[in-house]
């Protein structure tokens, strides 16, 4: 009987190389400059992928991440390209440039998103529009130019970032909840539509994760939220990135049309 040897940090077994789970997979990630998107970029590269990611306002953070990734993973491509995901023309330029750099595509991670929270009676139409355009409009803008390359090569994975708020609702977040619930419908419909081409489409629903997005939550509300989480703490961007990368890998090839929470057991 062969003795079991534990994998090292990179996942390679000491008595024989085990391929990295995302080796050679070409990723497009939106909103890779910060938070969950940046964690996905880091983990995907660590697991062997090539990555093109978009940024909007955080050009310097995007540049620094690319530089760090190129130094850490020489021989693997990492590039950052600007795109406001609610702007159809800007996204067309981004997706064309990403495809040109990568050659083709295996995985799309629709991650970029915003909140503009307010009670519904006080919500401004422009804030509603920004949230819906950024979070839900981007599903159309980014996915549409990239779906045919996936269909043509008869395989791939799309992972969309929704939210526990899209499943359960939350006060002060009607625009965000509506946009994230829309992503769930989009995910399920597209999964049914393109499954015959070997493409999976899933949604990841984080609860409360430590990023700039949750840093805006007032301390009293944060205490209330923590009390609702069985472990009484927020998740990390890496907690979410691990699920995203699993869903992008061939290990998840029989999982599609699903909405999977990473929320530490939060019940809103």
Ligand X SMILES: NC(=O)c1ccc[n+]([C@@H]2O[C@H](COP(=O)([O-])OP(=O)(O)OC[C@H]3O[C@@H](n4cnc5c(N)ncnc54)[C@H](OP(=O)(O)O)[C@@H]3O)[C@@H](O)[C@H]2O)c1
Which residues make up the interface to ligand X (CB under 6 A)? 31, 33-37, 54-58, 83-86, 111-114, 134, 161, 163, 206, 208-209, 211-214
User: Is the Cβ of residue 76 or residue 214 nearer to ligand X in the bound state?
Assistant: 214
User: Minimum Å distance from CB 161 to ligand X?
Assistant: 4
User: Is the Cβ of residue 111 or residue 249 nearer to ligand X in the bound state?
Assistant: 111
Q: Strands of 156-161's sheet, edge to edge?
A: 78-82, 50-55, 26-29, 107-110, 156-161, 199-206, 259-262
User: Is the Cβ of residue 57 or residue 232 nearer to ligand X in the bound state?
Assistant: 57
User: Minimum Å distance from CB 33 to ligand X?
Assistant: 4
Q: Which of 55, 176, 224, 254 is catalytic?
A: 176
Residue 55 among the catalytic residues: no
User: Minimum Å distance from CB 198 to ligand X?
Assistant: 26
User: Is the Cβ of residue 151 or residue 178 nearer to ligand X in the bound state?
Assistant: 178
Strand partners, 50: 26
User: Minimum Å distance from CB 165 to ligand X?
Assistant: 7
Tokens of 5: 């040897």
Of 232, 229, 241, give the one whose Cα is nearest residue 204: 241
Alpha-carbon gap, residue 243 to 153, rounded angstroms: 24
Alpha-carbon gap, residue 80 to 250, rounded angstroms: 25
Pairing of strands 26-29, 259-262: unpaired
Residues labelled as active-site residues: 176
């Amino acid at each position: 009987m062969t003795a079991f040897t534990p994998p090292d940090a990179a996942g390679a077994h000491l008595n024989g190389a085990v391929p990295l789970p995302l080796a050679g997979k070409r990723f497009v990630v939106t909103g890779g400059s910060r938070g969950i998107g940046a964690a996905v970029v880091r983990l995907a590269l660590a697991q062997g992928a090539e990555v093109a990611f978009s940024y909007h306002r955080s050009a310097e953070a995007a540049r620094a991440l690319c530089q760090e990734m190129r130094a850490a993973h020489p021989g693997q491509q990492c590039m950052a390209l600007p795109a406001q995901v609610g702007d159809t023309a800007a996204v067309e330029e981004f997706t064309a440039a990403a495809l040109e750099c990568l050659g083709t595509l295996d995985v799309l991670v629709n991650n970029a998103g915003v909140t503009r929270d307010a009670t519904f009676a006080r919500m401004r139409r422009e804030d509603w529009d920004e949230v819906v355009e950024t979070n839900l409009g981007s599903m159309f803008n980014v996915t549409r130019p990239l779906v045919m390359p996936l269909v043509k090569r008869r395989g791939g994975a799309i992972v969309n970032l929704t939210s526990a708020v899209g499943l359960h609702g939350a006060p002060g977040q009607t625009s965000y909840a509506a946009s994230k619930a829309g992503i769930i419908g989009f995910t399920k419909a597209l999964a049914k539509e393109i499954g015959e081409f070997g493409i999976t489409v899933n949604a990841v629903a984080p609860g409360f994760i430590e990023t700039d997005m949750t840093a805006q939550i007032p301390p009293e509300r944060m205490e209330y939220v923590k009390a609702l989480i069985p472990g009484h703490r927020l998740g990390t961007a890496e907690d979410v990135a691990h699920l995203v990368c699993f869903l992008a890998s061939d290990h998840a090839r029989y999982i599609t049309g699903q909405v999977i929470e990473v929320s530490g057991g939060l019940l809103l």
